[in-house]
Chain A
Amino acid sequence: MLRLPISVLVSTLLLVSTEIVIDGFVTITHAQQAKQAAIRLASGDHKEGYESPQYQTDSLSLEVRSGVEANLFAIVNTAQFGLPKKAEGRFLEPSEPAIKLGRKLFFDRRLSRNKTMSCAMCHIPEQGFTNNELQRPIGFEGRAIKRNAPTILNVVYYQRLFADARENRLEQQVWGPLLASNEMNNPSVGQVIDTLAQLPEYPKLFEDAFGEMPNMLNVGQALAQYQQALLAGNSRFDQWRYGRQQDVLNAEEKEGFALFAGKAQCSSCHIVGDEYALFTDQALHDTGVGYQVSMRPETTTISVQLAPGVVGQLDKSVVDSVGEDKPNDVGRYEVTLDPADRWKYRTASLRNIALTAPYMHNGTFASLESVVRFYNAGGVPHDGQSALIRPLGLSADEQAALVAFMRTLTGSNVGELVADAFAAPIGDTSSTSR
């Protein structure tokens, strides 16, 4: 057994499980430690440097994608440096059986119409609970989804959900993807409920968690219970700012934070408080990203990466011959029909931002460096662009410092959450018919 000091604010709860005991220390087994340490917090299909002829693979086998179940009930009941108290979020009263049920539902591919899509196919645990491999994920039968998959780490703290803020509670939000024709494509709520009732393992789990068979309300609650337990704070930044551990950040990272809160004015929207930081103002802004896609002329030539170090140039007409029309995206306007809301999107939290590329509501930027360059240039000036977006005059070193700072925002327990997700069974059809 190993005894590891934990750098979290321990709640008054004394949480005991077979795996973890929190009494100022986390106690885990060697096997658990080995599994968590072995987890790479990125796609096992390593593509960094793919643009270069010198690119080399560093691929992981899928067989190593096995984990160890975490005590999510303990995590949701435990305060972490940098995260607000539960009252600041929209928490349901945590329930261990409901969390376990929600976790199983989250990874169950049978919850889509043709049994191929689970929530986790777009919110992939080791990819920051988002999808690093696509700008915008695809859904049922490959249908286009017009926005980037957001991370669900710390999602419970959002006051409004989706990039256009059209939903207000997690237990309601889950029905959006379940029913959307281009996501999981279930034809009705009843179809989902019937599917769950007919799968042999679910009725008892619902009885245990809710004392009743699956219905529209408790399916949403179960999925919300799992997602609200995916709390990932206590980052190096949190330990430095809220834990008063001065040596946790290096000089460049500290300079980056000073810029973040000062010259670069990032914290105007990505708010950092005195007691905690959600890195979002929960508001919607027009940064120019959406406007640019909708309104600026398209390029006539498309650069296409064909292989490592090999780029081709395709005429746009050739690309169009094999492409559907790109769905337009006018942001919050699509919810309110108010012209003032055109191209406004909810400010994303920056927590765990190093894990969640590509960036912005449409995944248009591959790296944090390109995001900073965009804001440093002042966005895409046009009527309606937020007055907060303007040229920043940051030097190259200052931009690098900002990026270095943002890389300090990865929660200390993300590995534990990913290992837990790896331990969750993936639901697939298990019958053969004649």
Chain B
Amino acid sequence: MKFNLKSMAYASVLALALGVSATQADETCMSPYMAKIVGQEDFVYVWTLGEEGLGDEQDKLVTISVNPSAPDYGTVIETLSVGGRNEAHHSGLTDDRHYLWAGGLDSNKIFIFDVHSDPAKPTLFKTIDDFVAKSGGVVGPHTFYALAGRIMITGLSNNADHGGRTALVEYTNTGDYIATHWMPTDDNLQGAIKSGQFADGYGYDLRAMPRRNAMFTSSFTGWNNYMMDFGTMLQDPEAMKRFGNTAVVWDLHTRKPKKVFDMPGAPLEIRCAWKPENNYCFTTTALTSQIWLMYEDEEGEWQAQAVGDIGDPSKIPLPVDISITADDNGLWVQTFMDGKARYFDVSDPFAPKQTYEKVIGSQLNMISQSWDGKRAYFTSSLLDNWDKKGEADEQFFKSYTWNGEELNLEFEIDFKAEKLGSAHQMRFGAYGLYGMERPWEAAAAAVNKSDKSSDLAAQ
């Protein structure tokens, strides 16, 4: 093993168990600070891009019933339009899971939804319109990551040149601005070590590993590129130079960058292992189609290395979202261009092996797997102007079961036919998180109780 097995004690996480799960699987890609649930989720909230000429044309939060025991299973039960096309992208829950923060990469608005008062019917609690002004010029709020009582937001761009230099922005759970933490650049590494050739100041995703006091960020591209027509951008040599080639490990507590890694080709999503002895995180590079590992070596130093290819990198399959399994042994990798979900055995994190793949649609971006790994949900949209054109621009939510060998489709929702828009980020909800009974179970229980009472009365 190349990473440190003598880890510190596994930091305790807020755990709120729902139902019973033999696997004790975690919500595999969420913050360890977050209340987590095991068992059956009731809802998937889909942060959805409005499409010009489709339905009400606005971004919206779409709530889908996903509990097979629910009477409305497999249907859209609620939509909440927020006004405008903000380039809806990612969303994240607060540590107490009371609020869902969802950002617009274009308008820079942040919509804070109340998902705890009635998990089946989220409401808009607050809209942050002044993210750019408050943060000192950060554009493109991307990842919303729960820390203790706080939300850490990664930016993608800035209001000076709409390029890729950006920052992390910290807010309270209730939406008050706290601080801006700029990404390290050559002229101001902020004490970080530039380990290779690059320190570009770009940002994208963020994950924390509290047990190692570590936080990790990756790097994508600025507003100019993520808002541009994908095909046009691929043919613009100047634009193609404006992608991130770095990942950064930070001191979680002080919010100071410690080391900048070279990671050529736009490293995107970061997923950290859960087991206390597994001090490593995966990411994948969108343009160079590689799996990278950031790991702590035997000296306690963080290192990074490419550990495998995804598909045929020469064909640019464009790996996008990834998801680690709760036992750290598997990694789902979605490739946008060929619409494939790929499963990698990462039991040896230094030697991932692809063991399964399935075409989910003509294009594919996000995955969210259930706490126990038995269910996986997929959505189609990458970015409004990057999605495929014409008939290939399928927009869907698809629910699969995973038996360890095969993905089986349970139901799907055509977001175009439903006049909803382009389906993007998914987050889970459940009644039990908030001490609520599922209405249909409560109703059934009431009927049973009534029946028993009747029976007793009859006796």
Chain A positions near chain B (C-beta within 8 angstroms) = 43-45, 47, 50, 54-65, 109, 114-116, 121, 124, 126-127, 131-138, 141-142, 144, 302, 304-308, 310, 312-314, 318-324, 326, 358, 363, 366, 426, 428-434
Contacts and interface: CB of A to CB of B under 8 A. Distances in A.
Contacts of A314: 234, 316
Contacts of A131: 161, 224
A324 B197 contact: no
Interface of B: 84-87, 106-108, 125-130, 132-133, 137, 139, 158-165, 175, 182, 185-188, 197-201, 223-224, 226-232, 234-243, 245, 264-266, 285, 287-288, 313-314, 316, 337, 384-389, 392
A427 to B, nearest CB: 9
Nearest to B264: A307
A10 B164 CA distance: 41
Given A133-B224, A138-B228, A307-B285, 18 more contacts: A50-B241, A59-B201, A60-B186, A61-B182, A62-B160, A62-B182, A63-B182, A116-B139, A124-B161, A133-B238, A137-B224, A141-B384, A308-B264, A310-B287, A312-B316, A323-B389, A324-B229, A363-B236
Contact of A133 (B106, B163, B198, B266): B163
Contact of A134 (B165, B239, B392): B239
Contacts of B162: 121
A323 B229 contact: yes
B129 A432 contact: yes
B234 A428 contact: no
B228 A60 contact: no
A109 B162 CA distance: 12
A125 B137 CA distance: 16
Contacts of A366: 237-238
Most chain B beta-carbon contacts within 10 A, residue among A50, A60, A134, A142: A142
B226 to A, nearest CB: 8
B199 A432 contact: no
9 contacts: A45-B242, A59-B200, A62-B165, A126-B161, A135-B238, A302-B234, A306-B240, A320-B389, A429-B132
Nearest to A142: B227
Contacts of B232: 136, 144, 323-324, 326
Contact of B165 (A61, A307, A312, A430): A61
A64 B201 CA distance: 13
A321 B175 CA distance: 40
Contact of A319 (B185, B234, B238, B385): B234
Given A61-B201, A306-B288, A432-B175, A47 B239 contact: no
Contacts of B186: 57-60
B231 A324 contact: yes
A44 B240 CA distance: 16
B385 to A, nearest CB: 5
A116 to B, nearest CB: 6
Nearest to B226: A142
Contact of A305 (B87, B129, B223, B241): B241
A54 B198 CA distance: 10
A45 B389 CA distance: 31
Q: Which of A61, A63, A121, A430 has the most CB of B within 10 A?
A: A61
Contacts of B314: 312-313
B165 A142 contact: no
Nearest to B199: A57
A429 B132 CA distance: 8
Nearest to B52: A141
Nearest to B184: A61
B396 to A, nearest CB: 17
B284 to A, nearest CB: 13
B245 A308 contact: yes
Nearest to B166: A62
Contacts of B386: 322
B203 to A, nearest CB: 12
B39 to A, nearest CB: 34
Contacts of A313: 314
A56 B231 contact: no
Contact of B239 (A55, A59, A133): A133
